[in-house]
Amino acid sequence: MYYNYDSNVTKGRVHSFESFGLVDGPGVRYVVFMQGCAMRCRYCHNPETWSGEGGAEWTAKALFDKVYRYRNYWGDKGGITVSGGEPLLQMDFVTEFFKLAKEKGVHTTIDTAGQPFSDDEAWMTRFKALMDLTDLVMLDLKDFKSENHRALTGYSNENIMKMAKWLSDNGKDMWIRHVLVPDLTDDEEDLRQMGAFIASLKTVKKVEVLPYHALGLFKWEKMGKEYSLKDAKAPSPENVKKAEELLNVKAYHE
C-alpha cells in the first residue's frame, strides 16, 4: 500500500462538522467539511471554505476519535462523509482518516467536485490509495460543456469527466449530483448530453437534481464578495422534473 502515514502526525484543515447528515450519502452520516477549494462556483453556499488557511488543524487520529463517538447515530446503514471545500486537496489526510474508519468497519464517502483530479502518476498513486478506502464517491457535475463549466467555476471539466470514467472503469460506486440554476445550468441540450454521459458510466447508483437556492448569499456579503446570482430564482417544480427526465434520474437507485 502506498500510504504510510502516522495518524497522530498527519494533519488536515477542517472547516466544520455535521453530526446528523441525511443527504450526504446512504443512511445517517457524520459529515466532515474540509477547508480549501480552488473552484469559485458562482452559486457556492460555503465560500468561507475556499481559503486553504482557514478552519482548524486536526490530526487524523484526533478527528476520527471525535467522529467515532457518534457511531450509534449512523448504525449499520450510515457512516462518515468527507465533504468541503474540496477533500481531494487534502488527500493524504483523508486517506489516513479513512484508514482508521475502515479498521472499524465504517462506511466511507467522499463528496467532491473532482477538480483536482490528475492523471499524473504520482497523483494517481495517492488517489488510488484513497479510493481503496472509499466506499462511495458523490460527484458533482456542474455543467456538461467545458466552456460553460469554466464560466461557472473558473475551471474546465475535462479532468472531472476523466475522473468519472476512471471511477466507472475501476468499479467505484458513484452518486451524481447536478445543481439546477434557471438560465444557467438548465439548458436542455446540455442536460441531455450530460444524461448520455452518465448513462455511459457503469457504477452510478443514484442521480440527483439539486434545486438552486441563495441561502449562502449572506456569507458572500459578510465576506465582502460580489454575488453574481443575486437575482437568480429557484427553479420551479416543473423545471426540476424536466431536468430529472433529461438526466433519467428514475433509472438509478441505491
| Domain edges within the chain | 11-251
Helix (H, G, I), strand (E, B) or coil at 220: helix
- What CATH topology corresponds to 11-251? TIM Barrel (3.20.20)
Distances in whole angstroms, Cα of residue 39 to Cα of each of 44, 77, 84, 157, 218: 9, 32, 11, 11, 19
Distances in whole angstroms, Cα of residue 210 to Cα of each of 22, 127, 183, 237: 14, 27, 15, 11
Question: CA neighbours within 13 Å on the CB side: how many for 125?
Answer: 6
Tell whether the torsion through CA atoms of 165, 85, 35 and 13 is positive or negative.
negative
Distance of alpha carbon 204 from alpha carbon 175, whole angstroms:
6
Residue 36, pLDDT > 60, answer: yes
Residue 3, pLDDT > 50, answer: no
Distance of alpha carbon 129 from alpha carbon 133, whole angstroms:
7
Query: Would you state the pLDDT for residue 7?
Result: 56
Least confident of 5-14, 60-69, 124-133: 5-14
Query: Would you state the pLDDT for residue 2?
Result: 34
Question: CA neighbours within 13 Å on the CB side: how many for 133?
Answer: 25
Average pLDDT over residues 123-142: 97
Split at pLDDT 50, 70, 90, the class of 225 is: confident
Helix (H, G, I), strand (E, B) or coil at 210: strand
Query: Would you state the pLDDT for residue 4?
Result: 44
Query: Would you state the pLDDT for residue 230?
Result: 82
Q: What is the pTM of this model?
A: 0.92
- For cell 467522499, the residue is 110
Cell numbers of 75, please?
448504525
- For cell 458510466, the residue is 201
- Average pLDDT across the chain, whole number: 91
Query: Would you state the pLDDT for residue 8?
Result: 62
Average pLDDT over residues 44-66: 91
Distance of alpha carbon 163 from alpha carbon 157, whole angstroms:
10
Helix (H, G, I), strand (E, B) or coil at 12: strand
Percent of the chain with pLDDT over 90: 75
> Looking at per-residue confidence, does 47 or 155 come out higher?
155
Query: Would you state the pLDDT for residue 91?
Result: 96
> Looking at per-residue confidence, does 243 or 43 come out higher?
243
